[in-house]
Amino acid sequence: MIIEIDFNSDEALYLQLCNQIILGIATSQFREGDALPSVRQLADTIGINMHTVNKAYTVLKQEGYVKVDRRRGAVIALDMERLQTLEELKRELRVILAKSSCKNIPVSEIHGLIDEIYSEYT
C-alpha cells in the first residue's frame, strides 16, 4: 500500500500515518493478519524518524487496529470495541455538523456524502 505523507500539512506526521493505515484497512488494502512494514523499514521509505513511526504504531495498537507479534512485527488485528468509536464519532460529528448547519448545507447532502464515502469501504 502507498502511504502518502504531506510534509506541508499542519497535521502531525504520526497522526497522518495512523489515518492512512486506518484508511488502508477500511479500503481492504490491508487485511486482518497482514503485517505492517517494520518501524525502521517504513521510516526509511518515507524518510522520517523511526520513533515517529513507532508512535503511530503505538496509537494504532491502543485503539485496537493492530497487535504486535514479536516475530512478525505489527499485524493488522481488529478489536470490535464499538462504544469508544461511537463516542468519538458522535463528538466529531457534533462539531462538523454544526459547521455544516451554519453554512446551510442541507442534511440530504450529508447523507449523500456518507453513502459516497462509505461505499468505498467494506
Give the number of residues in contact with a second copy, rule: CB under 8 A: 40
Q: Which stretch binds DNA (CB under 7 A): 63-71, 85-93, 100-108, 112-120?
A: 63-71
Helices (H), the chain: 13-26, 39-46, 50-62, 82-102, 107-118
Output DSSP code: residue 10: S
With CB under 5 to 8 Å by kind, the binding choice for 73 among a second copy, DNA, none is: DNA
SS3 90: helix
With contact defined as beta carbons under 8 Å apart, do 66 and 77 qualify? yes
Site for a second copy in 16-35 (CB under 8 A): 19, 22-23, 25-27
Nearer to DNA, 73 or 100 (CB): 73
